[in-house]
Chains A and B, each alone.
Chain A
Amino acid sequence: MDKNANDTFAFDLENRLDDFFSDSLSRPDEPSTVQEPPAPRGRPLKSLKSTLLAIDWEITDDALAAFIGQVDALEGPYETDKVAHTLLRMLRSLGRYVRTHKANAHPDTIKRIMAVYSALERAVDDQLSPREKEKLLSAEVSAFRQLKQQIVASRAARPTAAPTQQPSAQTLLAVGAVIRAIHDLESRVTAELSAIRKDLERLGKS
Chain B
Amino acid sequence: MSFINTKTKEVQVKVVFVGPGRGGKTTNLEYIFSRIRHRIQSDMVSIKTQGDRTLFFDFLPFELGAIKGYQVKTQLYTVPGQVKYNATRKLVLKGVDGIVFVADSAVDRRENNIRSFENLRENLGFYDIDLTTIPLVFQYNKRDLATQGIPILDVNTLESDLNAQLKAPSFTASALTGDNVIPTVKKAIAITMVATRDKLL
Chain A residues proximal to chain B, CB less than 8 Å = 1, 3, 5-6, 9-10, 12-14, 16-21, 23, 25-28, 32, 34, 46-47, 49-50, 53-54, 57, 118
Inter-chain CA distance A14–B194, complex, in Å, is 11
Secondary structure of the A side of the interface?
helix
Which residue of A6, A21, A25, A50 is within 8 Å of B41 (Cβ)?
A50
A-B contact pairs, 14 of them (CB 8 A): A1-B200, A10-B194, A12-B68, A13-B193, A16-B64, A17-B64, A17-B186, A17-B190, A28-B34, A34-B38, A49-B41, A53-B61, A54-B42, A118-B8
Secondary structure of the B side of the interface?
mixed
Instruction: List residues of chain B with CB within 8 A of the CB of A3.
Output: 201
Inter-chain CA distance A49–B10, complex, in Å, is 14
Across chains A and B, the number of contacting residue pairs, with CB separation under 8 Å, is 71
- Give chain B interface residues in 12-41, CB to chain A under 8 Å: 34-41
Instruction: State whether A20 touches B42 (Cβ < 8 A).
Output: no
Q: Kindly state whether residue B185 has any CB partner on chain A within 8 Å.
A: yes
Q: Kindly state whether residue B59 has any CB partner on chain A within 8 Å.
A: yes
Number of interface residues of B (CB under 8 A): 31
Q: Beyond A1-B200, A17-B189, A50-B40, is A9–B68 a contact (Cβ under 8 Å)?
A: yes
Which residue of A17, A25, A57, A118 is within 8 Å of B38 (Cβ)?
A25
Instruction: List residues of chain A with CB within 8 A of the CB of B190.
Output: 10, 13-14, 17
Top-4 shortest CB links A-B: A50-B41, A50-B42, A28-B34, A17-B186
Instruction: List residues of chain B with CB within 8 A of the CB of A34.
Output: 38
By beta carbon, the residue of chain B nearest A29 is B34
Instruction: State whether B67 touches A12 (Cβ < 8 A).
Output: yes
Instruction: State whether B35 touches A21 (Cβ < 8 A).
Output: yes
Q: Kindly state whether residue B65 has any CB partner on chain A within 8 Å.
A: yes
Instruction: List residues of chain A with CB within 8 A of the CB of B35.
Output: 21, 25, 27-28
Instruction: State whether B67 touches A13 (Cβ < 8 A).
Output: yes
Q: Kindly state whether residue B182 has any CB partner on chain A within 8 Å.
A: yes
In the assembled complex, how far is the CB of residue B127 from the closest CB belonging to chain A, in whole angstroms? 20
Instruction: State whether B41 touches A16 (Cβ < 8 A).
Output: no
Inter-chain CA distance A6–B39, complex, in Å, is 27
List 9 other contacts, CB 8 Å, given A16-B67, A21-B182, A53-B42: A1-B70, A1-B197, A6-B68, A16-B64, A16-B66, A20-B64, A28-B35, A46-B41, A57-B61
